Amino acid sequence: MADIIELLPDSIANQIAAGEVIQRPSSAVKELLENAVDADATEIKLIIADAGKSLVSVIDNGKGMSETDARMAFERHATSKIKKIDDLFSIKTMGFRGEALASIAAVAQVELKTKKHDDELGTFIEVENSQVVKQEPCAAANGTTISMKNLFFNVPARRNFLKSNAAEMKHIVDEFIRVAMAFPEIFFSLTSNGQQVFYLEAGNIKQRVIQILGNNYNTKLVTVKEQTDYMNIYGFVGKPEAAKKTRGDQYFFVNNRFIKSAYLNHAVNTAFENMIAKDSFPSYVLFIDLDPSQIDINVHPTKQEIKFEDEKIIYAFVQAAVKHALAQFSIAPSLDFTLNADIQQLDAVAKPFTTEKREAASSSNLYKTFTGKYQAHKIEPNEKSELSHWKDFFTKKENKAEQTIEQKPISPEIPTLHSLSKFNNTYIQLHNTYIIVANTTGFMLVHQQHAHERVLYEKFTEQSHSTHPATQKSLFPITLELAISDAVLLEELLPEIMALGYQIENFGNNTFIIQGTPADVIQGNEKHSIELLLEQFKHFSSDIKFSKREKLVRCMSRQHAIKAGNPLLQKEMQTLIENLFQCTTPNVTPSGNPTYLEFKEDYLDRMFGKI
Ligand code: ADP
Ligand code: MG
């Protein structure tokens, strides 16, 4: 047998390696923006065409590159950012692996124009398939312009893998925001297909946050700021009233790098405990600065996860800082103020670079105060105990009651309308949430919100498959002005939303006009409805098992369902229950919760010792 192992040609090896760094246009956006930041630019312009599929171009006024460096920059592992292994532990720049430009050059056509401030002439280089195809001196402005054209032109399989323009553009906007948010002292702009999407004048963090998240945050931000020798935290949390129904505006930056951390997110959430509804999410933009040696740098640079040397302390500090901020702005008036004394203890916690210091930190009052259960800052929930216990009785899966109550959400014998209408029924509403209704074999306890969600779900599903969705025209067209990333999302969802009966027109400039709503939706509050729909959709969007349409239908039925706590008239209860039992699957909500419980006569008899 002949030998069978061969070395991959360079071009293929490069393309494979590139796949790790450049997955989609937005990956290049991130890398190129970070390079511009590292080059000390004070102005960075991002230009996009065709959602980055045909062009991603970054223009900076940073320090530029020499002729040799310009050529070197495209070699794999070519970096000016580390020289020796020790540098890894004190890294302060965004990049250091020297992989980004090499990766981009392996999967796209790249043009680079660059000039150092002291040089007369700049350098122009064209690279394709990792090969330099042109290099010449040229006249150029100070700084660097890199254009990446026709991403994956040489890897059609990956090109086909890219999503719709709207989806890719959303990724780009996300990356742009993450970099722009972290460097408010730099001017950033984003232009897409010739249209200016962002124009962010240099300013302070608060200005930048408002530029990006929208003016309505102006009065809703609370400053967070705690400094210790170990770490600094600063930034903003939204006041409780700015909390959202889905995790929308949540940003953590560690040493100015955007990260995703469920752990730290939890720290913020617990600081908000009992100040916002359980099912809503606080908004925050928080920056944590700490000694780079406290972070595990061995994490892949394009991944947004991070490992801290001492997670628990960071958790406690984040939580403490947010609580402190909320308390200071007297958002939590019922607080017990032993707080200032505690915060002063921060100094005791302040220098835990040594083991003793760290121990001191974790045994300090501050640490305990904020990690213990009955800390000074905990606000007890407003107990509506009877009601909530009563609810628990029926809803908690682990509740003992479960074993005795015959609960068959997926029961094959579903009561029919007939079995209900045999009685001239009166409906009893309990706690404005449950409806008790007799049927031929006993009685049913219907959860009004769950039931209505099921009814709407089937209606909307049917609507979405009809060619002429039922629409009610709005009396007055409603103008909807969205944050840019939401506008991109709405644009993407527009065909599906219209299929459900909404009439919405894109007016340009992130503005939409609502002209009509689905027939089954109560009018009024359309603006809020659409905003909420987008929020919920984002929440759902990682769930790939559902189509866009299915997600929307689910969001809409949840959103428009009669809520628990809402008093209902006899007639309304009757219609709801009739509609419920006309559904194909009346017994569960789309997400699988029971819509009613059934109590059969023989079971009741047994309970009363009659059998
Ligand atoms: P890394 O950023 O990890 O060093 P890159 O492949 O992104 O690797 O870039 C390689 C090198 O090219 C950088 O280290 C830097 O010296 C140089 N470089 C890249 N982009 C720019 C830019 N916009 N301005 C100046 N130098 C740049
Ligand atoms: Mg880089």
pLDDT in tens, 420-478: 655 567 889 999 999 998 887 888 899 999 999 999 999 988 888 887 888 888 878 88
Domain boundary among 328, 350, 365: 328
CATH number of the domain that residue 186 is part of:
3.30.565.10
Q: Which numbered ligand comes closest to the C-alpha of 66?
A: 1
Same structural domain, 182 and 217: no
Q: How many CB atoms lie under 10 A from the CB of residue 447?
A: 22
Same structural domain, 184 and 260: no
Q: Which domain holds residue 264?
A: 205-328
> Which amino acid type is present at position 91?
I
Same structural domain, 209 and 196: no
Alpha helices in 41-88 (DSSP H): 67-72
Torsions phi, psi for 181 (to 5 deg) = -65, -35
Q: What are 239-283's pLDDT values in tens digits? A: 988 888 776 789 999 989 999 888 899 999 999 988 888 878 899
Q: How far apart are CA 535 and CA 564, in angstroms?
A: 21
CA–centroid distance, residue 31 to ligand 2 (Å):
5
> Which amino acid type is present at position 285?
V
Q: What is the pLDDT of residue 6?
A: 84
Same structural domain, 226 and 95: no
Ligand 1 atom 21, closest CA:
35
Q: What is the pLDDT of residue 82?
A: 81
Rounded mean pLDDT, 48-68: 96
- Which atom of ligand 1 approaches the CA of 64 most closely? 25
DSSP structure string for 420-478: HHTS----EEETTTEEEEEETTEEEEEEHHHHHHHHHHHHHHHHHHSSS--EEEEEEEE
Q: How far apart are CA 280 and CA 245, in angstroms?
A: 4
CATH number of the domain that residue 268 is part of:
3.30.230.10
Q: Which residue of 33, 37, 80, 188 sits with most ligand 1 atoms within 8 Å of its CB, as the best mutation to test the pocket?
A: 80
Q: What is the pLDDT of residue 541?
A: 59
CA–centroid distance, residue 471 to ligand 1 (Å):
54
CA–centroid distance, residue 199 to ligand 2 (Å):
23
362 domain-assigned: no
CB-based pocket (< 6 A), ligand 1? 31, 35-36, 39, 60, 62-65, 73, 78-81, 95-102, 144
CA–centroid distance, residue 65 to ligand 1 (Å):
9
Q: Which numbered ligand comes closest to the C-alpha of 74?
A: 1
Domain total of the chain: 3
Same structural domain, 177 and 294: no
More confident residue, 485 or 53: 53
Q: Looking at the predicted structure, is the pLDDT value of residue 540 above 80?
A: no
Rounded mean pLDDT, 176-184: 96
368 domain-assigned: no
Domain boundary among 200, 232, 267: 200
Please tell me whether the overall predicted TM-score, pTM, comes out greater than 0.85 for this model: no
Q: How many CB atoms lie under 10 A from the CB of residue 216?
A: 11
In the sheet that holds 231-238, the strands lie side by side as 221-227, 231-238, 284-290, 250-254, 257-259
Same structural domain, 94 and 221: no
CA–centroid distance, residue 170 to ligand 1 (Å):
25
Same structural domain, 463 and 583: yes
Q: Which numbered ligand comes closest to the C-alpha of 127?
A: 1
395 domain-assigned: no
Rounded mean pLDDT, 145-172: 91
CA–centroid distance, residue 122 to ligand 2 (Å):
20
Q: Which residue of 31, 32, 35, 82 sits with most ligand 1 atoms within 8 Å of its CB, as the best mutation to test the pocket?
A: 35
Same structural domain, 314 and 435: no
- Which atom of ligand 1 approaches the CA of 146 most closely? 23
Q: What are 342-367's pLDDT values in tens digits? A: 333 343 333 333 444 444 444 433 34
Same structural domain, 261 and 230: yes
CA–centroid distance, residue 69 to ligand 2 (Å):
14
CATH number of the domain that residue 420 is part of:
3.30.1370.100
Same structural domain, 194 and 157: yes
Q: Looking at the predicted structure, is the pLDDT value of residue 379 above 50?
A: no
> Which pair of tokens denotes residue 117?
């401030």
Q: Looking at the predicted structure, is the pLDDT value of residue 101 above 90?
A: yes
